[in-house]
Structure 1
Amino acid sequence: MDVSQPDERSIRLVIADDHTLFRQGIRELLGGVPGLDVLAEGATGDEAIALTAQFRPDLLLLDVEMPGPGPRAVLRRVAQINPHTRIVILTMHEESVLVHELLKRGAAAYLVKTIACDELVAALRSVCRDQSSVLLRISRGTFEGLDQARPETNPLSAREHEVLCLAAEALSNTEIAHRLFIAEGTVKRHLTNIYAKLGAVSRIDAIRKAAAARLLPAIDDDDQPSRHPPPAVLT
């Protein structure tokens, strides 16, 4: 592959993937490319977040299926920690709904692991060079399914939608209040408004109706907060 043209400044990146052999292979590959500086690697969602906080890289190369917080939670936390870190999804999974959700949540690129080495390097450089663009390297079938993956018009406000998403993750009112830095009474008021807008009679009914209307992202177990202490950072 042609990697002979480095950028003016090195692109600092972190790799997060729970498959050790693949992760180490990517690190070795990218570490030898002029203009790319691999700072560290991690194997869990917790490590991806911790490494972002520690190094504040230009790029986070992220798998979508790892232990700990899932990609949606990682995207949210990375945006809070360092909004300048751009996230490039590199995965074997390319379901249309997942692609749409992660791009909507701020991923700068969505690439499948069948991508060629030179294409990966070009994509990483392009993401840093043009921060207004979004890169896709997915199958035609997945691309054609993106329109169907778009949710219907959302009657909820941005804050109400955020509260309902957290409720769908099985967080209590107290936990939601803590996560959003608002009062528990405010959470209850938002839920009351949500019930009225969706014609729901309970939290479970609201979640069910929102899911049926495609107002909620699919919830994976990986998106639940880790119940274990964060593992040691790999560098």
Structure 2
Amino acid sequence: MTAPDRPQIRVCLADDHALMRDGIREMLCTDAKFTVVGEASTGPEAVAVCVRLRPDVLLLDVEMPGLGAAAVVRQVGRSAPQTRVVVVTMHDDPDLVSELLTAGAVAYLLKTILRDELVAAVRSVVRRPVQNVLLAVSRATVERLDRQRPRTTPPLTGRELEVLRLTAEALSNAQIAGRLCITEATVKRHLTNIYAKLHAVSRVDAIRKATAARLIKPAPQAPVN
């Protein structure tokens, strides 16, 4: 008994150049798993066709009349949430990549990719929608996006927080060791870990950054005589 065939992947094409739409349609239609159900040449048309036809994937060009690409992505996300937006563009721009992925696009592909790469990308976003976004951009763009990605601070352990709080009270390493019943070498090790996690260069810097991050409370001000 053979397994039933997977349903076709329904695709809409949004590009203001008819020749580009024709080329992408021909590439996709060589694979029986794809069917192009609609086309658009402006931003508003792209949103409308997704709302009306509910395709699995919208292949979206960046530069079209009427709406910016990010606005199209957001509107499709609200009005046709089952449609996954794949950006296909000539622009290898990390700022644009970041903007469109933040808006909700699930892939960002350059028009220089090969047919097999396009087909694989579209299949992937349909079959594994919860996976990370797909990128087909230059290495320089990927590296810049990585530098722009916010870095999260690793959490301090309970003991590291105790050491940090006592450090903020201006206790010496020896005093902290006595208070916590640990060795002074252990205190130094905890401080080294704290500096690394907070990207701090000194006790004062660590206290300042931890206070700003609300990991510890500000030290009480000494009374003024």
User: How far apart, in 1, do the equivalents of 2:17 and 2:120 lie?
Assistant: 23
Deviations 1:92-117 (A, max 9, x none): 01211110111122111100000000
Per the TM alignment, residue 40 of structure 1 is displaced from its structure 2 partner at its CA by 1.2
Per the TM alignment, residue 148 of structure 1 is displaced from its structure 2 partner at its CA by 4.0
Partner of 2:118: 120
Partner of 1:82: 80
Partner of 2:8: 10
Partner of 1:56: 54
Counterpart amino acid of 1:68? G
Higher relative contact order (CA 8 A, sep 6+): 1
Q: For the Cα contact (< 8 Å) 1:15–1:62, is it kept in 2?
A: yes
Per the TM alignment, residue 31 of structure 1 is displaced from its structure 2 partner at its CA by 2.1
Which structure has the bigger radius of gyration? 2
Segments of 5+ residues of structure 1 without an aligned counterpart are 1-6, 154-235
Counterpart amino acid of 1:115? I
Partner of 2:143: 144
Q: For the Cα contact (< 8 Å) 1:100–1:150, is it kept in 2?
A: no
- What is the root-mean-square deviation in Å for CA atoms of aligned residues? 1.9
- With normalisation by structure 1, the TM-score equals 0.60
Per the TM alignment, residue 78 of structure 1 is displaced from its structure 2 partner at its CA by 0.4
Per the TM alignment, residue 147 of structure 1 is displaced from its structure 2 partner at its CA by 3.0
User: How far apart, in 2, do the equivalents of 1:151 and 1:18 lie?
Assistant: 35
Deviations 1:3-37 (A, max 9, x none): xxxx7110111000111111111112212311101
Change (3 A) 1:19 1:152: farther
Deviations 1:62-85 (A, max 9, x none): 011111101111011101111110
User: How far apart, in 1, do the equivalents of 2:90 and 2:150 lie?
Assistant: 23
Tell me, what secondary structure is at the counterpart of 2:129?
coil
Partner of 2:201: none
User: How far apart, in 2, do the equivalents of 1:150 and 1:78 lie?
Assistant: 25
User: How far apart, in 1, do the equivalents of 2:147 and 2:96 lie?
Assistant: 12
Superposed, 1:101-180 pairs within 5 Å as 101-133=99-131, 134-150=133-149
| % identity of equivalent residues | 54
Segments of 5+ residues of structure 2 without an aligned counterpart are 153-225
Counterpart amino acid of 1:121? V
Counterpart amino acid of 2:138? S
Counterpart amino acid of 1:145? R
User: How far apart, in 2, do the equivalents of 1:19 and 1:52 lie?
Assistant: 19
User: How far apart, in 2, do the equivalents of 1:90 and 1:148 lie?
Assistant: 23
Per the TM alignment, residue 121 of structure 1 is displaced from its structure 2 partner at its CA by 0.3
User: How far apart, in 1, do the equivalents of 2:12 and 2:101 lie?
Assistant: 19
User: How far apart, in 1, do the equivalents of 2:146 and 2:96 lie?
Assistant: 12
